Structure 1
Amino acid sequence: MPRIEHVGLTPAQVQNFIDDGFVEIENAFSADLAKQGRDELWAEIGLSPDEPEKWVQPVVRVGFKSSFPFVEAANTPQLHKAYDQFAGEGRWLAPKGLGTFPIRFPSPEAPGDDGWHVDVSFGTDNPDFMEWRANVKSSGRALLMLFLFSDVGPDDAPTKIRKGSHAVIAQELLPYGEAGATLRQVSAYGYASTEDCEVELATGMAGTVYLCHPFLVHAAQLHRGQRPRFMAQPPLLPKGEFDPASPPSPVQIAIRQACGLTF
């Protein structure tokens, strides 16, 4: 039987990423890998899917995981092709695992981490995380990624996404230049500038991945469902700084369109 090479995302999907700031990829990794990952995470947090009476916290966090199911899930041929399509061919580092994992449990208690935000990407050696930074070139981050390791419906604390908010944040980062803005500066007004953006929910079956623009404004929320939500939210790391001699990637095209830049 002849080998069929995965052709990647369609031009329409790439354009949707530029315009909306994200694309959902179904079946990006297998349900079996998702189950293996969940099993490892259950063991790490010392809880069980069969003992809901012990799910007493609204969220339990697990750091970076570099065991087999997580490395495999992050590096499927389909995802590698998509990384090339969005971040630029050969301009990203293959993930050596996945993390962090905010595991969310059904609870009437607010999780305490559900504010709107963008993920900053450099200056992370500063002990004050509010001083971590982002700049208009998105130094230190090629993509924001959401890996669903469990089925996630509307009630299962899906990540909330402000559609098109990446363009607003690009404009706000532009005056800060290459030095960038701190998280304290970026969040000073509570992301009020993106309040009119349509809100989408990162729902899907286990094995779904959302590839997002680094500037996308997003938020956690209360879990109103029945089963815990398992998700990884890693960055895709770039190989280096933006090279103006290379063709712009969709990540860079979105920034250029928002800011009228020529870099």
Structure 2
Amino acid sequence: MTDQEIESFVADGFVRVRGAVPRATVEDCRAQLWEASGCSPDDPAGWTEPVVRIGAMGTPAFREAANTPALHEAYDQLVGAGRWRAPLGLGTFPLRFPSEKDPGDDGWHLDAGWTGEAGEYRVNLRSRGRALLMLFLFTDVGPDDAPTRIRSGSHLDLPPLLDGAGEEGRPWFPLCADAVPASEGRREVAATGEAGDVFLCHPFLIHAAQRHGGSAPRFLAQPPLEPSGLLDLGGGSAPSPVERAVRAGLRRA
């Protein structure tokens, strides 16, 4: 990525890596998703639900998709060399189909980092469990094809809500209840692009799904990139772009 793209990531909370996954790999993955969905690309009458969810996929095609040279370079640039774990596959997959039905899962939120001892989802300031949120496009996604909605810059609103919560952080649901209002008024961006594009997002980014108003299904993976440690927010001289954004959010408080 260029320096400009990296600075855009720090300020906006996301960057689009165009053509990150080769076309042949995309087509292989898409065929496997169709099979797993129980639906057929040639039978729109069978697309009866607005969303079909598929869990983790660890076949060679999905491992290849998650670990292309372009993506490894981008992971290094955003998170830091040696500070992330190579994905063993991809998941989960919300496959969205054209429908007038309410999908029931389109609220604004951030993704959780880990599951606490009591079974509750949690998030902390040093982003335990999540180095990046990633959006892998396995179909072309236009404005009407249920693109993920992003509140640009909303990742900067999170650090003040986590500051002082320590290593245990905060429970995810109450945090979302504070974070979503805090990010109201942020510019909304639709994660549109071509099959093979990947959006790499800050782990604190506020985002949402939406109803599919187009004509062709939208296939997407939304996995985390797992970190090998925690963010260093102690004032080191060479913070990663992810760390720089958290520090910037704390200074805004």
TM range (shorter): over 0.9
What is the match of residue 151 of structure 2?
Answer: 162
SS in 1 for 2:16: strand
Moved more, 183-192 or 203-212: 183-192
Residues 248-259 of structure 1 aligned to structure 2 (within 5 Å): 248-259=239-250
Identity over the aligned pairs, expressed in percent? 51
Classify 1:126/1:48 alpha carbon distance in 2 versus 1 (closer, same or farther; 3 Å).
Answer: farther
Task: Name the structure 2 match of 1:6.
Answer: none
Q: Where does residue 111 of structure 1 map in the other structure?
A: 103
Q: Which residue in 1 is equivalent to 2:37?
A: 45
Quote the offset at 1:95 in angstroms: 0.6
Q: Indicate how the Cα distance of structure 1 residues 258 and 49 shifts in structure 2: closer, same or farther if over 3 A, else same.
A: same
Q: Deviations over 1:109-160 (max 9, x none)?
A: 0100000000011125644xxx311011111111000000000000000000
Q: 1:153 aligns with which of 131, 136, 142?
A: 142
For residue 169 of structure 2, what is the aligned residue in structure 1?
A: 180
Secondary structure class of the residue paired with 1:260: helix
Matched, 1:90 2:82: yes
Is this contact kept in 2: 1:160–1:200, CA < 8 A? Answer: yes
Q: Distance in 2 between matches of 1:49 and 1:174?
A: 47
Over residues 83-127 of structure 1, what are the superposed CA-to-partner deviations in whole Å (9 max), with x where a residue is unaligned? 000001111001110000000000000100000000011125644
Aligned counterpart, 1:100? 92
Moved more, 27-36 or 47-56: 27-36
Counterpart in 2 of 1:15?
Answer: 7
Q: Which amino acid aligns with 1:107?
A: S
Aligned-residue CA RMSD (Å): 1.5
For residues 118 and 187 of structure 1, the distance between their equivalents in structure 2, rounded to whole angstroms, comes to: 7
Aligned residues: 250
The amino acid of 1:255's aligned partner reads V
Partner of residue 183 from structure 2, selected from 194, 199, 208: 194
Q: CA deviation at 1:190?
A: 6.7
**Deviation of 1:189 (Å):** 4.2
Structure 1 gaps of 5+ residues are 1-8
Q: Is the 8 A contact 1:116 1:190 kept in 2?
A: no
Q: Please, what TM-score do these two structures have when normalized by structure 1?
A: 0.91
Q: Is the 8 A contact 2:124 2:169 kept in 1?
A: yes
Amino acid at match of 1:19: A
